[in-house]
Amino acid sequence: MFEYLSGGAEDERALHNNRAAYSRVQLIPNTLRDVSHVDTSTHVLGSDIGMPLLLGPVGFAGLFHHEREPGVAVAAGKYKTFYSLATWGSSTPEEIGAVSTAPKMMQLYIPSDRERAYALVDRAKAAGFTALCVTVDTPVQGSREKAWRMGMPPPAKMPISSYLSILGHPRWLFNFLRSRPTPGVSLFDHPPSEREMMAAGPATDLTFEDITRLRERWDGPLAIKGVLATADARLAVEHGASAIILSNHGGRQFDAAPAPIDLLPGMVDAVGDRAEIIVDSGIRRGVDVLRAIALGATACMIGRPYLYGLAAGGQLGVERALQILKGELERNMALLGVTRIADVDGRFLHPGRDIVDKRKPDELYR
């Protein structure tokens, strides 16, 4: 399970570069500013939220802790930020809608049978989800070799060492057997068989026309997740997207993909104010959020950081992860010399040799 959570695709070059790219973005702080009241709240995907850090969709969160997706969604509500339920999550939109006050986004993997996806959209809407995101970087699954070697995720075959590891965690095993989480429950009204699961995987013939068709059924915020090319972002906007989630899936898909944060300035130029830009992959600290916002992101998204919290302590673990990240964000806003998210912009960027910025230095600093 740890390999499934932490690992990336193939040689994990994208995974490692995602982190390295953040350390190349440096911000020059202002001093002698009154920072006694720092406010992290902002607005994204049609909702006012407590901080520009959204919880991204993850498949099968029930593997990590028996409190599963509802535990995460309740924690998100306490921090007033978006919770995203994955198509291949182990909970239904109705379960999430019943327990969580968080603003909610439904993630779609559109299968060959498009009607299944449309039915899920209708259910999510009825359960109080206000935003939709379509993940488009997964026409096939990336080769996550470390996880597959350990038999993750199911139905891959587990080696003896995985069984021994499971036996070494009796409390986890007891809770897992008791809660019996099933991935993909939202797509079916019964526990799916292996064959049904395979048939409901993401379609390989997905095109921009699918975005248009979805837009005809959904009038709320619509984000396209996993766009890296600026040409694709422009097309996504022309076909009805209101947000781009600039993401390489946390380095879990295409191992030659650049770090999203490095592509952010180009993406901002390409879409302008026609769409919001949410960036993920590699955010581990509150200060990374400031880096992304200074480069032009509307908000950021995380996957693994909250999953580590979930695995370690269920809902309380996610809350603790969010508390740490929010605390870091507040502290670093004060250190940067700003009190509002709207005040964080390109003027703070250090135009070092790794950052391509065509503006003159006196346009960059306050």
- Minimum Å distance from CB 305 to ligand FMN? 6
Contact between 151 and ligand FMN by CB under 6 A: the answer reads: no
- Minimum Å distance from CB 100 to ligand FMN? 18
Q: Which residues, in sequence order, are CB contacts of 276 under 8 Å at separation 6+? A: 44, 45, 223, 242, 243, 244, 298, 299
| Strand runs labelled E in 109-154 | 131-135
From CA 265, how far away is CA 243, in angstroms rounded? Answer: 16
Stretch near ligand FMN under the rule CB under 6 A, chosen from 75-83, 117-125, 162-170, 302-310:
302-310
Q: Is 37 a catalytic residue?
A: no
- Minimum Å distance from CB 189 to ligand FMN? 20
Tokens of 270: 């390409």
**List 65, 66, 239, 249, catalytic entry:** 249
What is the pattern of x (binds ligand FMN, CB under 6 A) and - over residues 18-57? x-------------------------------------xx
Contact between 249 and ligand FMN by CB under 6 A: the answer reads: yes
Stretch near ligand FMN under the rule CB under 6 A, chosen from 27-35, 299-307, 310-318, 324-332:
299-307
- Minimum Å distance from CB 251 to ligand FMN? 7
From CA 193, how far away is CA 60, in angstroms rounded? Answer: 16
Which one among 3, 59, 123, 330 touches ligand FMN, defined by CB under 6 A?
59
The answer to whether 47 and 76 have CB atoms below 8 angstroms apart is no
From CA 109, how far away is CA 187, in angstroms rounded? Answer: 10
The answer to whether 45 and 130 have CB atoms below 8 angstroms apart is yes
Complex with ligand FMN: residue 14 or 338, whichever CB lies closer: 14
Closest by alpha carbon to 238, among 207, 265, 259? Answer: 207
Contact between 265 and ligand FMN by CB under 6 A: the answer reads: no
Closest by alpha carbon to 266, among 230, 298, 290, 234? Answer: 230
Contact between 234 and ligand FMN by CB under 6 A: the answer reads: no
The residue with its CB nearest to ligand FMN is 303
Q: Which residues, in sequence order, are CB contacts of 303 under 8 Å at separation 6+? A: 56, 58, 250, 280
From CA 352, how far away is CA 28, in angstroms rounded? Answer: 11
What is the pattern of x (binds ligand FMN, CB under 6 A) and - over residues 127-146? --------x-----------
Q: Give the active site residues.
A: 249
Residues making contact with ligand FMN (CB under 6 A): 4-5, 18, 56-59, 86, 88, 107, 135, 225, 247, 249-250, 252, 280-283, 302-305, 307
